Structure formats: structure tokens, C-alpha cells
Amino acid sequence: MSFFRRKIYPTDYLFGGYSVVKLIGEGRFGMCYLVNLDNKKYVLKEIKPKVIKKSGTKIIFEEKILSSINHPLIPKIVDTIKNDKMYAYILEYKKGKTIEEMLFGDNYVFTPSEIYKVGIKIIDIIKYLHERNIVHRDIRVPNVIINEEEVYLIDFGLARLINGKKYIPSVDFLYFGHLLLYLYYSSFEKTSKKSEPWYDELDLSLNEVNFLKKLLGLNEKYKSIYDVEKDFLKLGLERLQDKY
């Protein structure tokens, strides 16, 4: 019912000086708008009132975590808007398209070389986060932006401090494995009506299959991002040797 739909703010609507350019998208926790201030673009993320009511103080995790880190591939939080009507914060705007938009909007096909380049940058971001005791918990195709050679990780709504119980590093490895499968499947052409497991359908080396199975927890799980990085670097070298 439209009565319960959250109000969408129109173009030129003002949030504390920030002028709305357009609605970017809606997630589980908030509405994201492209906004403008002094001819510079930002992203405004408004937390949904029902989320505030349900989650209470948990909603501040994203703000606190983003305020505590500084990485060129993670949008910085630059401002907050808090009043009786809304709770929102302003993030750096990162130009580009999400992997979701590239795959399902543009039907983009990722080459093995591109998959490696994207993967190693995501590993670099995960390594940075895990070194600071942070687990992202939502490394999915809508949350990775690509702009030429740059790869950005966004949406820290589910990010938490690692506690060794519910919030553990291997959660990020699982999401990373699924994201890589999306990239590998971008070049897959089905030749049979029969569905096969990904490790039979895709044209992957034995080492690639074992790497993905460890990420996904189908074989012995990775315990450290450094081990993930080491094995992924080996896969990159393997692909390079095959090329020549």
C-alpha cells in the first residue's frame, strides 16, 4: 500500500544545504540520494524511521565505523544530519557503476584478467578492514562500484567489530566467493538444459575451484585474509603463465 511507502524527496529538495539531484536507490536500511553542495556531489543516506525504531542504537555502527577508517576505496563520511524528522549522513560520492548494474543492466562480460584485478582490490579492502577488527558482512554485487581501474566498497550498514562469535572474518570470505562466482558466470554460455554445480559448469582450473570452495566453506575454510590473498596471487600468476 502506497500509504506506508517512505516519502521520496524531489529534485532540489534541501537537506541542511544539500540539494537533491536524484534518488540513487533504496536498501534495507535507508534511502540513498545523490546530492549537491557548492557544485560538489555527495551521497546522502537517510536511515528509514522503521529501522531506527527497530534497531535503536545499532544504526550508529555504520557511522562509527566509517568515521574510524580512512581508505581511498571506501567512501568517507563527511557530515551527519540529525533532527526530529530524520537521521542521515553524507558520504563521498564515488563515480562509476555497481557490479550489479554492469552485469544485469549492461550484460557486461568480465575477462579473467578483469576478475583478478577486481578481486585483488577487494582483498586489499577486506585486509584493511580486518586489520582494524572490522567485518563488512555484505560484500555483494550491489555494494561494489567500478570506475575504470578503481574498485570501491560501499554500504557499511551491516559492518560490525569482529567478536569471534557472530561477527567473524570468514563471513566476508563467503560473500567474496559468491561475488567472484557472479563475475565468472558473466562469460558462461549454457549449452545444456541440465543444471550442473558451478564447479562443473564453469571453465575453472583445479586451483580456482579449490580456492572458491575454501571461500564458500565447502572445503576447509580460510581463517585469514592473508591466506586468501596468498592463494589469489597464485591464481593470478597461474593465469598469466597460461596466457603465455
Task: Return the active site residues.
Answer: 138
Contact 75, 35 (CB under 8 A): no
CA 33-135-143 angle, 5° bins: 30
DSSP structural state of residue 212: H
CA distance 27 to 48: 9
Task: Confirm or deny that 54 is annotated as ligand binding.
Answer: yes
**What is the rounded distance in angstroms from the CA atom of residue 239 to the CA atom of residue 20?**
45
SS3 114: helix
Supply φ then ψ for residue 148, to 5 degrees: 55, -110
Quote the cell numbers at residue 95. Answer: 563515480
| Cβ-contact 219, 114 below 8 angstroms | no
For residue 202, give the 3-state DSSP assignment: coil
Cβ–Cβ under 8 Å, residues 173 and 213? no
Q: Write the DSSP assignment of 43-82 as a string of letters.
A: EEEEEPHHHHHHHGGGGHHHHHHHHH---TTSPPEEEEEE
Of 59, 31, 28, residue with least CA distance to 43: 31
Binding residue positions for ATP: 54
